[in-house]
Amino acid sequence: MRRRFMKAVWLILAVIIVTLTNIDAKAAEEFPNRPIEFVVCYPPGGGADLSARIILPEVEKHIGAPIYITNKAGGEGTVGVSYALNKKPDGYTLFGLHQSSTFVGRVFGQLPYDFNEIYPISNWIDNLNIFAAKPNSPLKMFKDLLEYARQNPGKLKYGVPSKRTSQGIGAELLLSDARLDIVAVPFKGSGPTMTALLGGHVDLASIPYAMAKPHIQAGSVRALVVFGKKRVEELPDVPTAVELGYEEAPLAIAGAGVSAKVPQDRIEKLNRAFEKAMKDPKVLDQLRKAGFDPVYMDQGAFKKHILEGVEKVNRIKDRLKD
Amino acid sequence: MDFLQNLLFGFQVVLHPTNLFLAFVGCVIGTLTGVLPGLGPSAAIALLLPGTFHLTPVGAIIMLAGIYYGAMYGGSTTSVLVNIPGETASVVTCLDGYRMACQGRAGPALAVCAIGSFIAGTLSVVGLMLMAPTLAQVALSFGPPEYTSLMIVGFVILTFLASSSMPKALIMAAFGLFLSTIGLDAVSGESRFTLDIIDLNDGIGLVPVVMGLFGISEVLLNLEQIQGNPEILKGKILHLYPTREDWAKLLPASLRGTIVGFFLGILPGGGAVLSSFVSYAIEKRTSKYPEKFGTGVIEGVAAPESANNAATGGAFVPLLTLGIPANIVMAILLGAFMIHGITPGPMIIQEHPDVFWGLIASMYLGNVMLLILNLPLVGIWVQLLRVPYKILFPLILLFCLTGVYSVSMSRVDILVMIIFGVVGYVSRKTGYEAAPLILALVLGGMFENSLRQSLMMSGGNPSIFFLRPISFAFMLIAIVLLLVPVVLRRKPVPLLVEAR
Amino acid sequence: MREINIYTSFFIMIIALAICIGSLKLSIYTPRGPGPGFMSFGTGGILFLLSFHLFLKSLFSRTEGGAKDAYPKNIKTTSLILSALMFYALFLEKLGFILDSFLVFSFLFAISRTMKWYASIACSLSLALGSYVLFSVFLGIGLPRGMLNFFR
């Protein structure tokens, strides 16, 4: 019995040694010479996963090495990031970045890693979020909302897919600027939020435009205001928060990052590959079809955006707490 | 007969060779993901989604939908054979399915699963086709207060699940409720009972708990026996297919399961797991021999298996008519629709009749395919029982490990599974059942959220549960269900008898 | 079963108390309805009452026997399997799926002592490779490659 075990152990050791030496011999060559791992921080099938699976095949072509996706969900997107940061900072491990793993997590002290260890490479997606009113609501325009909410503080309820999402931040920022008292009712995800709005269980909802689109077109719900500064193309007469004189909400984040310890020349290479991919009309088209609003931010803009997010969320920190 | 014409049009779409092939591929992959424990349809659909970019919209949707309802067929296989649910929705099937297998009736049990699934699958497509828009309106009338009351009915039903000791079943249920609170609070964002493990911020997953309580503990218990062969191998395999007597019990149970499953499937968040538990409880409650449930009765297999399949049909209702996904799988399918430039919602039938009717027709056809695929498989699966357990158990463990890991690629999930394996092992030895814990874990999160949402809506006033008609009706049902056994005092209720 | 019930219900009572104490750290009720600690405090309380009930009931019941099944019979096998599973979880990402599965399965086959050592090694190798192909290639799930990262 023991001899059998010893034989097995030797065999296994041999395998390990062979593989180890193999890796070291290869690592010295030019970057990238082996597959790159991209850590998607949410389970397969969500928006984070889907957008990465649309963009990465294109990046793959420009970087010249295969990219494979690992889904590492948990901790609202932070588990995947800390998993990636624990690997060797050689540029072979990239990860997805989102609000909760960057500025929101930073403000609420929920990051299991050092915020400065993240090097944002590029942002892909900007979600257009809107404030929509329930079917048959007397509130036709944002002005009506202002008037009604001022006269009846605490009476209106709005549904939101958790306050710490871009929808929640956008709405709370607006409500805080406009000094309105509207009660937030958090739901689990934008689907249930939309259902509650359609069923008239809440008066308003802060939801991604993509979710509300078919119902706005069918005329059952009405968009009152778009958070941010960009209007929705299909809704030319719905104003934005910026036009109404309020602060711009931090955009949603879905982008790529890498450890800040990776050598600069490798980051440069990755950067260029992402830039090329994000300028490809085919990719943009596919993203739009999937209901995303593609936006390209390079490293500088992305970094600035995240820091702005920290500042804005900090301001309304207390409102997001309960 | 307008819709007959439409349906005919749908069949024309599906009978195109490519689409037919895609439907078949979807059904096969679905059955496979169903059979593999842990790995669910959501992972499979999500991973295959990018591969469908170059297909036609109809073809892609047909295939992905096939994976979804196909998984419900496969899920029961391992429940019956090795007492490990292949799908969280098949937990209840273990209770009686595995017992049937122990009596040498694995064949009929598997056949009942396939036939029940077929009946429910087909009927739920009929329901989807005829009543989708009406039903969507019903689904919308369910706000947080209605959900809260529905969950309360669920808790009452939970007490019907106890098969030996009622206090122990309730203890397990309370423990399951506690487990559902672990993780970040959806309202305040505070972390609760996570022990500073960030992986637990998203809560304890249902899949690792199920795999641990059923899968790992089963293996541990079986290996403990001195001969090393579990009970199941001792019985002879009697016959493969159900007898006439079985059919007489199977059909009504399956129909009841279908109705329950379809309606619960429509409600967002409800879905297959809940409906299988509810239909089992209903069967047990209305049965003439409730004490026999849990010992291998056919109704206990037919009803939940039908219910979880009917729920898949029901889940399409809100997706197709409102563009709102009722569960994770539907959320991924919504993504699939969008990628192909189709926005599901009130306009889909007018704008994309080929997709809508093609999908409906493909579901009829897919169910037939799955029946043809699964019935002959029964014979093969039953042969699997002849493999010595010493060779089989590493395989079972491997599939549990890989299945759990594949859900979110988290090692913490594997650890959770191992811990619950030990919990399941100890609790089964000491007479605590696992099923109430699972149901409570499913209900708990929904209950807490909807309770708090309702009270936010009403400003803290609990009268909201009684002033809204639907919610009030559920409250009434819950009270009646609780009181009926007390008032009627029919027989000494066997559910309360302490286990020997 | 009496003895067992007394032990388990006592144990559960302690857990229930721990849950209640743990939920006190979270706010249980806020002006706007139940707080984050509401549900866990409630279930902790219910759990305590139920287990206390069971505790008293078994303390005063007179039925004996039947407890033999409740004690573990083969602790060695059970703990070996559990430690193999723990090993699997801990080293999955370092070693990669194939290597890790291979190691754990040769171990499991070794303790089940059904095959000659070369047969069990061949068996676990083919199992590891086969399931990798099934999950990773056919179903497209990105299983960890660990040390075997250099090939695709």
B residues 75..104 contacting A (CB < 8 A) = none
Summarised one tens digit per residue, pLDDT across range A79-94 is: 889 989 988 898 999 9
B residues 197..226 contacting A (CB < 8 A) = 198-202
Any B CB within 8 A of A271 CB: no
Q: Is A284 left (phi over 0), alpha (psi -120 to 50) or beta?
A: alpha
Burial letters A145-166, b for 16+ CB under 10 A, else e:
bbebbeeeeeebbbbbbbbbbb
CA-nearest residue of chain B to A53? B50
CA-nearest residue of chain C to B190? C36
Give CB contacts under 8 A, 24+ apart, made by B124-127. Answer: B124/B258, B124/B261, B124/B262, B124/B265, B124/B309, B124/B310, B124/B311, B124/B312, B124/B313, B124/B314, B125/B313, B125/B360, B125/B363, B125/B364, B125/B367, B127/B262, B127/B313, B127/B314
Alpha-carbon torsion (A20, A21, A24, A27), positive or negative: negative
Any C CB within 8 A of B167 CB: yes
Report CB contact under 8 Å: A195, B343: no
Summarised one tens digit per residue, pLDDT across range A20-57 is: 545 544 444 578 888 898 999 887 777 888 889 889 99
Report CB contact under 8 Å: A19, C148: yes
H-helix or E-strand containing C30?
A: strand C29-30
Range of weakest confidence among A71-80, A266-275, B177-186, B207-216: A71-80
User: Is the pLDDT confidence value at B102 over 80?
Assistant: yes
- To the nearest 10 degrees (0 to 180), the angle between helices B17-35 and B2-14 is 80
Q: Is C33 left (phi over 0), alpha (psi -120 to 50) or beta?
A: left
Three-class HEC string of C82-130: HHHHHHHHHHHHHHCHHHHHHHHHHHHHHHHCCCCHHHHHHHHHHHHHH
Any C CB within 8 A of B197 CB: no
In this prediction, residue C151 carries a pLDDT of 47
- Tell me phi and psi for residue A184, to 5 degrees: -85, 135
State the pLDDT confidence band at C2, using cuts at 50, 70 and 90.
Answer: confident
**Looking at CA atoms only, how far is residue C4 from chain B in angstroms?**
7
Range of weakest confidence among A122-136, B301-315, B364-378, B418-432: A122-136
In this prediction, residue B488 carries a pLDDT of 63
Both tokens assigned to A251: 């955009």
In this prediction, residue B498 carries a pLDDT of 38
Both tokens assigned to A25: 């011999």
| Residues B217, B98: Cα–Cα separation, whole Å | 15
In this prediction, residue A26 carries a pLDDT of 47
| Residues C70, A179: Cα–Cα separation, whole Å | 63
State the pLDDT confidence band at B131, using cuts at 50, 70 and 90.
Answer: confident
B143 neighbourhood in chain A, CB within 8 Å: 196, 199, 201
Q: In what order do the strands lie in the sheet with A255-259?
A: A67-71, A36-40, A93-97, A255-259, A118-125, A294-297
Q: Is C74 left (phi over 0), alpha (psi -120 to 50) or beta?
A: beta
A183 neighbourhood in chain C, CB within 8 Å: 32
Report CB contact under 8 Å: A8, C110: yes
Which range, A231-235, A303-307, B118-122, C110-114, is most confident? B118-122
User: Is the pLDDT confidence value at B196 over 90?
Assistant: no
Report CB contact under 8 Å: B411, C33: no
Place of tokens 């799955």: B370
Whether B125 and B360 have beta carbons less than 8 Å apart is answered as yes
Summarised one tens digit per residue, pLDDT across range A135-148 is: 889 999 999 999 99
Share of chain A above pLDDT 70, in %: 91
In this prediction, residue B494 carries a pLDDT of 46
Both tokens assigned to B26: 């979807």
Once rounded to an integer, what is the mean pLDDT over residues C71-89? Answer: 87
Helix ranges (DSSP H) in C25-60: 38-60
C143 neighbourhood in chain B, CB within 8 Å: 402, 405-406
Report CB contact under 8 Å: C152, A68: yes
CATH 3.40.190.150 residue spans of chain A: 35-126+251-315
Q: Please report, for residues A49, B65, B73, the alpha-carbon distance to residue B115 in angstroms, rounded to integers and kept in the order given.
A: 36, 20, 9
Any B CB within 8 A of A2 CB: no
User: Is the pLDDT confidence value at B318 over 70?
Assistant: yes
Report CB contact under 8 Å: A12, C148: no
Both tokens assigned to A117: 């260890």
In this prediction, residue A5 carries a pLDDT of 57
State the pLDDT confidence band at A12, using cuts at 50, 70 and 90.
Answer: low
Summarised one tens digit per residue, pLDDT across range B31-82 is: 988 888 878 888 888 878 877 878 888 999 999 999 999 998 988 998 998 8
Any B CB within 8 A of C125 CB: no
Range of weakest confidence among A201-210, B205-214, B229-238, B349-358: B229-238
User: Is the pLDDT confidence value at C67 over 60?
Assistant: no
Cβ neighbours, 10 Å, residue A140: 11
The alpha carbon of B377 is separated from its chain's Cα centroid by a whole number of angstroms, namely 21
State the pLDDT confidence band at B26, using cuts at 50, 70 and 90.
Answer: very high
CA-nearest residue of chain B to A70? B409
Burial letters B387-413, b for 16+ CB under 10 A, else e:
eebbebbbbbbbbbbbbbbbbbbbbbb
Class of domain A129-226: alpha beta
**Looking at CA atoms only, how far is residue B419 from chain C in angstroms?**
9
To the nearest whole number, what is the mean pLDDT of chain B?
Answer: 86
Q: What is the DSSP string of B443-498?
A: HHHHHHHHHHHHHHHHTS-TTHHHHSHHHHHHHHHHHHHHHHHHHH--SS-GGGSP
B residues 307..346 contacting A (CB < 8 A) = 318, 322-326, 328, 331-332, 335, 338-341, 343-346
In this prediction, residue A257 carries a pLDDT of 93
Which range, A102-116, B113-127, B485-499, is most confident? B113-127
User: Is the pLDDT confidence value at B490 over 60?
Assistant: no
Report CB contact under 8 Å: C37, B398: no
| Residues B170, B160: Cα–Cα separation, whole Å | 10
| Residues B464, B472: Cα–Cα separation, whole Å | 9
Summarised one tens digit per residue, pLDDT across range C105-136 is: 889 888 877 778 888 888 889 888 988 888 87
Both tokens assigned to B278: 């509810």
- Tell me phi and psi for residue A159, to 5 degrees: -85, 145
Nearest to C142 among A5, A69, A183 (CB): A69
B residues 442..471 contacting A (CB < 8 A) = 445, 449, 453, 456-457, 459
Summarised one tens digit per residue, pLDDT across range A273-309 is: 999 999 999 999 888 888 788 888 888 889 998 999 9
State the pLDDT confidence band at B109, using cuts at 50, 70 and 90.
Answer: very high
Which of A312, A298, A309 lies closest to A257 in space, CA to CA?
A298
Nearest to C26 among B44, B192, B456 (CB): B192
Any C CB within 8 A of B430 CB: yes
Range of weakest confidence among B401-410, B486-495, C90-99: B486-495
Cβ neighbours, 10 Å, residue A8: 19
Place of tokens 């809704």: A235
Q: Please report, for residues A43, A102, A152, the alpha-carbon distance to residue A70 in angstroms, rounded to integers and kept in the order given.
A: 9, 20, 49
Q: How many domains does chain B have?
A: 1
To the nearest whole number, what is the mean pLDDT of chain A?
Answer: 86
Those chains having 3 or more beta-carbon pairs within 8 angstroms of chain B are: A, C
Nearest to A26 among C99, C144, C150 (CB): C150
Which of B344, B46, B53, B58 lies closest to A286 in space, CA to CA?
B53
In one-letter notation, the amino acid at residue B344 is P
| Residues B452, B455: Cα–Cα separation, whole Å | 5
In this prediction, residue A27 carries a pLDDT of 47
State the pLDDT confidence band at B269, using cuts at 50, 70 and 90.
Answer: low
Place of tokens 């403000």: A107
State the pLDDT confidence band at C30, using cuts at 50, 70 and 90.
Answer: confident
Those chains having 3 or more beta-carbon pairs within 8 angstroms of chain A are: B, C
Strand, coil or helix: what is A259? strand
In this prediction, residue B497 carries a pLDDT of 39
Report CB contact under 8 Å: B455, C34: yes
In this prediction, residue B240 carries a pLDDT of 77
Class of domain A35-126+251-315: alpha beta
CA-nearest residue of chain C to A322? C35
In this prediction, residue A94 carries a pLDDT of 94
Any A CB within 8 A of B426 CB: no
Summarised one tens digit per residue, pLDDT across range A148-182 is: 999 999 899 999 988 888 899 999 999 999 999 99
Whether B336 and B328 have beta carbons less than 8 Å apart is answered as no
Whether C146 and C97 have beta carbons less than 8 Å apart is answered as yes
Once rounded to an integer, what is the mean pLDDT over residues B378-401? Answer: 85
Summarised one tens digit per residue, pLDDT across range C10-26 is: 999 999 999 999 999 88
Whether A244 and A142 have beta carbons less than 8 Å apart is answered as yes
CA-nearest residue of chain C to B184? C36
In this prediction, residue A14 carries a pLDDT of 58
Q: Which domain holds residue B373?
A: 2-496
Torsion angle defined by CA atoms of residues B54, B56, B62 and B66, in that order, rounded to the nearest 10 degrees: -10
Once rounded to an integer, what is the mean pLDDT over residues B175-198? Answer: 86
B178: exposed, middle or buried (C-beta count within 10 Å: 0-12, 13-18, 19+)?
buried
Nearest to A191 among B140, B200, B324 (CB): B324
Q: Is B297 left (phi over 0), alpha (psi -120 to 50) or beta?
A: beta
User: Is the pLDDT confidence value at A11 over 80?
Assistant: no
Whether A210 and A204 have beta carbons less than 8 Å apart is answered as no
